[in-house]
């Protein structure tokens, strides 16, 4: 029996390892809020691309920093898709932010200090009352260092790439496995070597390897961990 106390759950890991799938299922089972923090970095990236602040993979860093106050992001739950969709300055951009052109630039944008400060502040506000599962790269290390439960999700590289290819194809995007692998590798490298809050596995995180687990098995493991934590608190 799960206790009534609503905790904070941080889910971190490399690109396309199943973080969002697990975090969303966990939030659904617990009646918690689910926030995909990566969507916010993707939203900022889309805005910059549309504003001509990123061209051919080249970022105008200072102009991006100055444009941050023009960007308003929030999530709106869509019962038809069962997804909290990203709204950028009043426009639903959930589909556009998942496209490969955004994925190609997002890690460079996410390495900019002021971008992170803005989004981390917003993420903390959203999670201020607990009862939240947030997934990303720096959730357990920076956004919610006091989270009661921290998960670090991993999966074998070829499985991650195949899952992302399938996901993109289901959205009508034709892409080769090699293109997907190249993007995942590039993002992993930038995300884990950047100066500002790089992706790390914090000491108190518990690893879940999703490579050979079904969605149900992953969820079961995570729920058992939640149960242990809530019994202790
Ligand atoms: O879903 P996927 O694993 O492809 O990535 P995502 O969660 O949508 O995140 C996209 C990108 O945003 C990552 O590659 C990071 O560069 C950045 N990100 C971050 O820096 N910090 C977070 N908390 C979440 C995402």
Whether the CB of 42 sits within 6 Å of ligand 1 = yes
What are the phi and psi torsion angles at 124 (to 5°)? -65, -35
pLDDT for res 148: 97
User: To which H or E segment does residue 197 belong?
Assistant: none
Which tens digit of pLDDT belongs to each residue from 23-68? 999 999 999 999 999 999 999 999 999 999 999 999 999 999 999 9
Pairing of strands 54-55, 58-59: antiparallel
Which tens digit of pLDDT belongs to each residue from 108-165? 999 999 999 999 999 999 999 999 999 999 999 999 999 999 999 999 999 999 999 9
How many CB atoms neighbour CB 227 within 10 A? 13
CA-atom Rg of the chain in angstroms? 17
Q: How much distance in Å is there from the Cα of 83 to the middle of ligand 1?
A: 17
Q: How much distance in Å is there from the Cα of 58 to the middle of ligand 1?
A: 19
Q: What is d(CA 88, CA 93) in angstroms, rounded to the nearest whole number?
A: 6
Please name the residue whose Cα sits nearest to atom 6 of ligand 1. 38
pLDDT for res 9: 98
Domains of the chain, CATH where assigned = 8-232 (3.40.50.300)
Q: How much distance in Å is there from the Cα of 118 to the middle of ligand 1?
A: 15
pLDDT for res 232: 82
Angle at 124 between CA 121 and CA 127, to 5 degrees: 155
Contacts of 59 (CB under 8 A, 6+ apart): 48, 53, 105, 108, 109, 112
The pTM assigned to this predicted structure is 0.96
Going by C-alpha positions, the residue among 19, 181, 194 that lies closest to residue 108 is: 194
Whether the CB of 141 sits within 6 Å of ligand 1 = no
Whether the CB of 106 sits within 6 Å of ligand 1 = yes
Among residues of the chain, what percentage have pLDDT more than 90? 95
State mean pLDDT over 178-190: 96
Please name the residue whose Cα sits nearest to atom 15 of ligand 1. 107
pLDDT for res 1: 47
Pull the structure tokens for residue 91.
């426009």
Pairing of strands 91-92, 8-13: unpaired
Please name the residue whose Cα sits nearest to atom 3 of ligand 1. 15
* pLDDT over 80 (residue 3): no
Whether the CB of 8 sits within 6 Å of ligand 1 = no
Ligand 1, atom nearest to 103 Cα: 10
Q: How much distance in Å is there from the Cα of 80 to the middle of ligand 1?
A: 25
Q: How much distance in Å is there from the Cα of 1 to the middle of ligand 1?
A: 33
Torsion of CA 223, 205, 138, 119, to 10 degrees: 40
């Amino acid at each position: 029996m799960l206790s009534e106390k609503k905790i904070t759950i941080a889910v971190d890991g490399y690109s396309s390892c199943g973080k969002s799938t697990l975090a969303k299922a966990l939030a659904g089972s617990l009646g918690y809020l689910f926030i995909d923090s990566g969507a916010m970095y993707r939203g900022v990236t889309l805005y910059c691309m549309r504003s001509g602040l990123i061209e051919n993979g080249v970022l105008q860093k200072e102009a991006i920093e100055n444009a941050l106050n023009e960007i308003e992001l929030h999530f709106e739950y869509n019962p038809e898709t069962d997804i909290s969709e990203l709204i950028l300055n009043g426009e639903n951009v959930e589909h556009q932010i998942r496209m490969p052109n955004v994925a190609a630039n997002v890690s460079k944008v996410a390495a900019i200090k002021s971008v992170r400060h803005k989004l981390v502040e917003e993420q903390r506000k959203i999670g201020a009352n607990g009862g939240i599962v947030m997934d990303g790269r720096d959730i357990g290390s920076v956004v919610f260092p006091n989270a009661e439960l921290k998960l670090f999700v991993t999966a074998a590289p070829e499985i991650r790439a195949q899952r992302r290819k399938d996901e993109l194809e289901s959205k009508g995007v034709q892409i080769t496995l090699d293109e997907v692998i190249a993007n995942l590798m590039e993002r992993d490298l930038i995300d884990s070597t950047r100066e500002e809050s790089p992706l790390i596995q914090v000491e108190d995180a518990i690893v879940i390897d999703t490579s050979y687990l079904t969605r149900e098995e992953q969820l079961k493991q995570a729920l058992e961990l939640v149960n242990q934590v809530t019994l202790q608190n």
